[in-house]
């Protein structure tokens, strides 16, 4: 998933752009978290074995609540201020897309049934993972839980005037991740974006954290990527970096056979832009696909067509609603009362911790070594000025532009490149 081989490429060529950080060192930081992706992970991971899920008395799944509750408390205890970003209602899908999506899950359901019959445990595990879906009920439950915990949940929706058949379902799934990233860009006061997907960098999230939501038992340090330092290390501009990612092979556009991350980096450094690479490349050695929508992919990385709901712009971390939490978790969803009251205590003590200020909010770092040019790049990335904002908005409202987003190649046999999303679904 994400950009193929980018992680290794960065580790080799731009080690300064990524550093391992202790989970605890993010205290006081506001961090945007992709809620839907987290919920999906919780459904897969928390308390599920085979076809069994954690449920309440009425038989409704509660895995997502358990996961959301405990993970969020962990973040709060570390003094982190999480902002969960949910996506709004997806636009109406074409019927065929819906059908395709259902048939895929039905396949998995059939497979699961077969596996259950034959008693193959591995297969049961595999196929039951694939039948997991996030419904709007799950989303609503989590939103309610977060509200009770006093953690802000923001809904982001995308403007989408084109529902033509060319836009595949996968493309919509991808967009939903973009919404999180874009949210972080618009709301500058979010310090970083937490995601597991490497292409977050390509979307220009200034700081991007991996493994933030991993269970503490795994003891994986958080990996922090700083786009400006990555660019510095690779000696590329942001536009060149986007071209590099497209060449490596991203979710939106296939890669060229024979070009891996290393070659891609060499080519971009040598020629400077995709256009001149395509002009100069040895056409016999490297077969460029006939229909290679690199321009669209590029535009997509630069200007995800997402808008946030402006009414919810204010982020507030309030005190938890104790009574509400007990009602919701214990009475409605069968949580252990002792665990919940203990957790509420934790939230309350954690409040105190997040109020510690950081020196960086008073003193600004003076960089002595960074070249002026790089600093310019950084500025553009970090501060979407009102002017650029206006620009993206105006692009969005131009019908012509949307019509040009052609993504026929999205179906190109890379089904396995993003398993997490294959059966990601929202009840509509």
Partner 1 sequence: MLELRLVQGSLLKKVLESIKDLVNDANFDCSATGFSLQAMDSSHVALVALLLRSEGFEHYRCDRNISMGMNLTNMAKMLKCAGNDDIITIKADDGSDTVTFMFESPTQDKIADFEMKLMDIDSEHLGIPEAEYHAIVRMPSAEFGRICKDLSSIGDTVVISVTKEGVKFSTRGDIGTANIVCRQNTTVDKPEEATVIEMNEPVSLTFALRYLNSFTKASPLSNTVTISLSSELPVVVEYKIAEMGYVRYYLAPKIEEDEEETKP
Residues contributing to the site for partner 1 (CB under 8 A): 16, 22, 24-25, 27, 188-191, 317, 352, 355-368, 382
For 165, phi and psi rounded to 5 degrees?
-70, -20
Lookup: tokens for 195 = 């995601």
328 CB-side CA count, 13 A: 20
Rounded Cα gap, residues 326 and 338, in angstroms: 10
Minimum CB distance to partner 1, residue 147 (Å): 17
Alpha-carbon gap, residue 81 to 26, rounded angstroms: 9
Closest approach of partner 1 to the CB of residue 383, in Å? 9
Q: How far apart are CA 385 and CA 235, in angstroms?
A: 25
How many Cα atoms sit within 13 Å of 371 on the Cβ side? 9
CB of 187 to partner 1, least distance (A): 9
Least Å distance, CB 306 to partner 1, is: 20
Count of alpha carbons within 13 angstroms of residue 413, beta-carbon side? 0
Q: What is the rounded CA–CA span in Å between residue 49 and residue 124?
A: 9
Q: How far is the CB of 365 from partner 1 (least distance, A)?
A: 4
The least CB distance from residue 125 to partner 1, in Å, is 41
Dist. CA 142–CA 42, nearest whole Å: 11
If the CB atoms of residues 360 and 411 are measured against partner 1, the closer one turns out to be 360
Closest CB to partner 1 among residues 218, 316 = 316
In terms of DSSP bridges, do strands 18-21 and 222-226 run parallel, antiparallel, or are they unpaired?
Answer: antiparallel
**Sign of the dihedral through C-alpha 413, 418, 422, 424:** negative
Q: Which residue's CB is nearer to partner 1, number 206 or number 261?
A: 206
Could you tell me which of 179, 165, 171, 166 has the C-alpha nearest to residue 251? 171
Q: Specify the residue, 279 or 345, whose C-beta has the smaller distance to partner 1.
A: 345
| Distance in Å, CB of 382 to partner 1, minimum | 8
State the Rg of the chain over Cα. Answer: 22
Residue 351: CB minimum distance to partner 1, A: 8
Measured from the CB atom, is 284 or 311 closer to partner 1?
311
Helices (H), 196-236: 199-202, 227-234
Q: Kindly tell me which of 292 and 317 has the beta carbon lying closer to partner 1.
A: 317
Farthest CA pair distance, the chain? 70
């Amino acid at each position: 998933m994400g950009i193929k081989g980018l992680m290794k490429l960065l580790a080799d060529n731009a080690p300064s752009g990524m550093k391992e950080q202790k989970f605890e060192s993010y205290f006081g930081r506001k961090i945007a978290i992709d809620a839907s992706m987290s919920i999906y992970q919780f459904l897969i991971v928390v308390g599920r074995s085979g076809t069994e899920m954690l449920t309440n008395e009425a038989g409704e799944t509660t895995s997502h609540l358990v996961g959301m509750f405990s993970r969020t408390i962990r973040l709060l205890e570390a003094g982190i201020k999480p902002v969960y970003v949910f996506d709004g209602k997806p636009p109406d899908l074409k019927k065929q897309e819906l059908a395709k999506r259902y048939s895929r899950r039905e396949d998995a359901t059939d497979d699961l049934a077969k596996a259950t019959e034959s008693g193959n445990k591995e297969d049961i595990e595999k196929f039951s993972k694939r039948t997991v879906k996030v419904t709007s009920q799950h989303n609503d439950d989590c939103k309610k839980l977060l509200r009770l915990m006093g953690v802000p949940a923001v809904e982001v929706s995308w403007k989408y005037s084109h529902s033509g058949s060319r836009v595949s379902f996968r493309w919509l799934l991808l967009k939903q991740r973009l919404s999180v990233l874009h949210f972080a860009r618009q709301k500058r006061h979010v310090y970083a974006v937490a995601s597991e997907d490497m292409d977050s960098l390509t979307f220009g999230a200034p700081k991007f954290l991996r493994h933030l939501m991993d269970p503490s038992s795994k003891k994986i340090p958080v990996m922090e990527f700083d786009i400006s330092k990555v660019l510095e290390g690779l000696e590329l501009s942001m536009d060149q970096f986007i071209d590099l990612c497209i060449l490596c092979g991203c979710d939106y556009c296939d890669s060229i056979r024979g070009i891996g991350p290393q070659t891609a980096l060499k080519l971009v450094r040598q020629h400077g832009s995709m256009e001149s690479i395509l002009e100069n490349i040895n056409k016999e050695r490297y077969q460029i696909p006939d229909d290679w929508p690199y321009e669209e992919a590029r535009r997509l990385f630069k200007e995800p067509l997402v808008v946030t709901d402006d009414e919810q712009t204010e982020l507030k971390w309030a005190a938890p609603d104790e009574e509400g939490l007990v009602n919701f978790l214990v009475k409605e969803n069968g949580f252990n009362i002792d665990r919940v009251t203990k957790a509420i205590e934790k939230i309350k003590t954690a409040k105190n911790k997040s109020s510690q200020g950081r020196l960086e909010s008073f003193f600004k770092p003076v960089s002595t070594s960074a070249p002026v040019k790089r600093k310019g790049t950084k500025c553009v990335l970090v501060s979407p000025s009102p002017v650029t904002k206006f620009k993206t908005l105006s692009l969005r409202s131009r019908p012509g532009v949307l019509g040009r987003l052609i993504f026929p190649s999205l179906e190109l046999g890379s089904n396995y490149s993003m398993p997490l999303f294959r059966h990601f679904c929202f009840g509509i």
